[in-house]
Amino acid sequence: MAQLRLRHPKGVSTIQIDLDSATVQDLLQEIYKITEILPSRQDVKAGYPPKGLTLIPELPISSLGLSKGEQLIVNQNSGGQSTRSTPARSAAAVSTTGEVPQPNSQPSGPVQPTKNEPDSIEVEGGYLVHRIVPDDNSCLFSSVAIVFEQNIGKAQEIRKIVADEIRKDMVTWSEAILGRPRDDYISTILKSSTWGGAIELAILAKYYNTEISSVDVETGRIDHFAPSPEADSGNRSILIYSGIHYDAATLAPIKDAPADFHQTIMPVRGSTPEVDPILKAAKGLADKLREKKAFTNTSTFTLKCENCGKGLTGEKEARAHATETGHVKFGEY
């Protein structure tokens, strides 16, 4: 174990971490425990003069080139979420599971309104409200729990639904589709430290017989996950996707209405924002968040391998290069 020194808004602290076996995500979680700055909001610098570190959570901590006793300067990003940490799976991705450390416990029971007024868009019948969930690796499951169970504390039950559906349908959810052995995928998705993405949304839309529409903040693109045609309820739910995080969007009669008064499932009036007022409002929410830079593009930021000098684009190429070559030290161009 190596000792690292942290300078952060609360003062100076030290952490113990294994520089040989830990991942970048392990480091981000240790920093979070001390500073209470969410991994997606951490700005970490090291060296002299201090330089920003390229934080790719799935890579080993050795990718950062840290040494025993090194001092890290940690601050919170002020504008939206960090472009360098905690990537989640794209709404359009095929394989969705990835293990990261056990998060802190999440709130249980019905969702309570936040102290700061969330973003909202006026729509016929009230306001479509951005319902923010914890940044704790279970954001997709928490958002779905809000929408379909009206209880964020049921996120783990949502994971079990996914596991059970995969277990029951060996044809649809084959190893080829899942990208890994079925039993491995099932055991992994049950862990509260595992991300969810497109596979989980497709399963949950069919389980609840309700379309799940995921709105991408950066592009405004809307991905529709449809239920089985023979069981379609004709209803829709809305999720907001920032590139590294999912939140829910629900309909409130007034902006500050308690969560219990929110409508979480709405009738489908069309498949585009031009004809469906709820989709139009959801796209408006994405526009608001984009203006605040509240999104992360983990596929387009440019990196350079500091071992061989090769230029890379995005987290996916960095991980592939690390697997092929064993090179794990990267910097941003």
Q: Where are the domains of the chain?
A: 2-86+296-332, 120-291
What is the reported pTM? Answer: 0.63
The vertex-315 CA angle with 81 and 143, nearest 5°, equals: 45
Q: For residues 231 and 223, is the Cβ–Cβ distance under 8 A?
A: no
CA 63 from centre of chain: 22
Q: Do domains 2-86+296-332 and 120-291 have the same CATH topology?
A: no
pLDDT tens for the 333 residues of the chain, in order: 888 988 888 888 889 999 988 888 889 889 988 988 888 788 898 886 678 888 888 788 988 888 888 889 898 875 433 333 333 333 333 334 443 333 333 333 444 433 467 999 999 889 999 999 998 889 999 999 999 999 999 999 999 999 999 999 999 999 999 988 999 999 999 998 788 899 999 999 999 999 999 999 999 999 999 999 999 999 999 999 998 789 999 999 998 899 989 999 999 999 999 999 999 999 999 999 999 888 766 666 677 787 888 888 776 777 678 767 877 666 655
Q: Can you name the CATH fold of 2-86+296-332?
A: Ubiquitin-like (UB roll) (3.10.20)
**Which of 8, 130, 262, 327 is flagged as catalytic?**
327
**Which of 245, 247, 262, 305 is flagged as catalytic?**
245
C-alpha atoms less than 13 angstroms from C-alpha of 270 in its C-beta half-sphere = 9
Residues 6+ apart with CB under 8 A from 329: 62, 63, 64, 65, 305, 306, 307
Collapsed DSSP state (helix, strand, coil) of residue 171: coil
DSSP code at position 59: S
Longest CA–CA span in the chain (Å) reads 63
**Which of 43, 119, 135, 136 is flagged as catalytic?**
136
**Type of residue at 150:** Q
Answer yes or no: 305 catalytic: no
H-type alpha helices, 107-197:
139-149, 155-168, 175-178, 182-189
Q: What is the pLDDT of residue 119?
A: 94
* CA neighbor of 62 nearest in space, from 105, 15, 23: 23
Cα–Cα distances in Å, from 215 out to 182, 224, 285, 333?
29, 9, 9, 29
Answer yes or no: 136 catalytic: yes
Answer yes or no: 260 catalytic: no
120-291 has which CATH code? 3.90.70.80
**Which of 139, 216, 276, 305 is flagged as catalytic?**
139
Give bridge partners of residue 222 from the DSSP assignment: 215
Collapsed DSSP state (helix, strand, coil) of residue 120: strand
The dihedral built from the CA positions of residue 268, 272, 278 and 283, taken in this order, carries a sign that is positive
Answer yes or no: 321 catalytic: no
